[in-house]
Chains A and B, each alone.
Chain A
Amino acid sequence: MSMAIRVIPCLDVDAGRVVKGVNFTGLRDAGDPVELASRYDAEGADEIVFLDITASSGDRQTMLEVVQRTADCVFIPLTVGGGVRSPDDFDLLLRAGADKVSLNTAAIADPTLLSQAAERFGSQCVVLSIDARRCPPGVSTESGFEVTTHGGRRSTGMDVITWAIEGATRGAGEILLNSMDADGTKAGFDLELIQIIRSVVQVPLIASGGAGSLSDFAPAVDAGADAVLAASVFHFGEFTISQVKQALVESGLSVR
């Protein structure tokens, strides 16, 4: 027996409400992140990721309440990201009931945030979220992939390999690797991106972006992912968590 491949649904949350349509039947409130997290838990999700896309920092309290209510009824790991700027933000989320906190743009602006958080709370709760893409014309990196910010709209010119290594060295205990090229295409994960990051870091790797069919998941694992994340395919009811797990099992992989 070996570790189970984790299947993780990601929910975008804006001011305490899930955005992007959710196509579950039988939900009392399809916009409530807590009810959705419970639903995914019941379906066999191995973790839940909340991405807080709230623009206004005045609504931070709303997210903390969502995390608290989720932790009150969902007994699987919960990762929360979005808008985290300081170790104190980490502390508030962990106390509210998050198990892991993901950093993205803030860590690029101040990489010491990763080491500060790892020292204070432990690497196990520090997730580095990387939005990567193939270099567009005019940008060049050794790996051919660069790190972006602002949801893939802004170039940093930084090599994704360099950033992944620095992140892990600074204490990130996990990397959430989003392919901005594959994201939304439903054409499968960016396997080359997964392979090159897997070959340079020893921390667990979550592959994200591009899932469109049940046959997309096993290749991501074969490329080196320890976990697979998807959003819209689950939310729109195209397939369920358990169907993804069944497909992984049929490919000879272990699941919970």
Chain B
Amino acid sequence: MTTQDIVILDYGSGNLRSAQRALEKVGASVQVTADFDEALNADALVVPGVGAFAACMRGILEVRGDIIIDRRLTAGRPVLGICVGMQVLFAHGVEHGTMVDGLGQWPGVVERLVAPILPHMGWDTVRVPADSAIFAEVAGERFYFVHSYGVTTCDLTPHDLNRRSPVVTWGTHGTDFVAAIENGPLVATQFHPEKSGAAGLELLNSWLQSL
């Protein structure tokens, strides 16, 4: 088996070291960079993200991440979004009453969750559909979430012939929200697999194996 070359897109968001080390732990070769060509040509691209939707979008656009992601997906090349890196893949995000454009890879709006306690912070279960690949080994496990926003209605139909039908995994915190999506080359998790202990590493390993 050849080592997969992964790029973590470095656009100034949060703790990237953990994602790097977790992917290395499961056998990938990882670069943290904002270099356009490296990000475009890697075997897979990881789009991290913490904090505000609008700030992450600004950061991604500054490094032309929108173009990188679009070109990769058009060519069927893998992209993994994590946390806000998942949220920005949707069409819009609403924060403090203001709507911001996302990358629009999926229709849908990222909104503040309605729950007694926010952020949704800690280890929670998810509801995994039978045809999930990345959860195959870890469907009953808990994963580490930390977010106040999410996608609560998700009507994904394949709008791109390169993609298979989306497989949506749901979580619940006050309301149901999208915990993960597997959609051909585009995979994303609301939780942090790199912070989810052995279960998270196993999920990352399954993703690597699927590349």
Contacts and interface: CB of A to CB of B under 8 A. Distances in A.
B18 A4 contact: no
A73 B142 CA distance: 20
Given A3-B173, A97-B15, A124-B146, A76 B118 contact: no
Nearest to B22: A75
A99 B195 contact: yes
A119 B50 CA distance: 11
Contacts of B142: 4, 256
B122 A122 contact: no
B17 A95 contact: yes
Contacts, number: 103
Interface in B176-210: 192, 194-198, 200-201
A75 B52 contact: no
B50 A121 contact: yes
A202 interface: yes
Contact of A204 (B15, B122, B192, B194): B122
A98 interface: yes
Interface in A91-121: 94-99, 119-121
B27 to A, nearest CB: 15
A71 B21 contact: yes
Contacts of A256: 123, 142
B12 to A, nearest CB: 10
B200 A75 contact: yes
Interface in A1-19: 1-4, 6
Contacts of B147: 124
A183 interface: no
Interface residues of A, number: 35
A227 B197 CA distance: 17
Contact of A122 (B14, B18, B195, B196): B14
A174 to B, nearest CB: 6
A93 B190 CA distance: 23
Contacts of B4: none
Contacts of A121: 14, 50-51
A256 B144 CA distance: 10
Given A3-B122, A227-B122, A94 B15 contact: yes
B119 interface: yes
Given A76-B197, A77-B195, A99-B195, A122 B52 contact: yes
B110 to A, nearest CB: 14
B15 A203 contact: no
Given A121-B51, A124-B50, A227-B122, A76 B17 contact: no
A202 B118 contact: yes
Nearest to A204: B121
Given A71-B18, A73-B21, A99-B18, A124 B118 contact: no
B102 to A, nearest CB: 17
Interface in B12-65: 14-18, 21-22, 25, 50-52, 55
B117 A202 contact: yes
30 contacts: A1-B124, A3-B124, A4-B122, A4-B123, A6-B122, A46-B123, A68-B17, A71-B15, A72-B21, A73-B21, A75-B195, A75-B198, A76-B195, A76-B196, A94-B15, A97-B21, A99-B18, A99-B146, A99-B195, A121-B14, A122-B50, A125-B50, A125-B51, A202-B116, A202-B117, A204-B119, A226-B117, A226-B122, A227-B122, A256-B142
Interface of B: 14-18, 21-22, 25, 50-52, 55, 116-125, 142, 144, 146-148, 173, 192, 194-198, 200-201
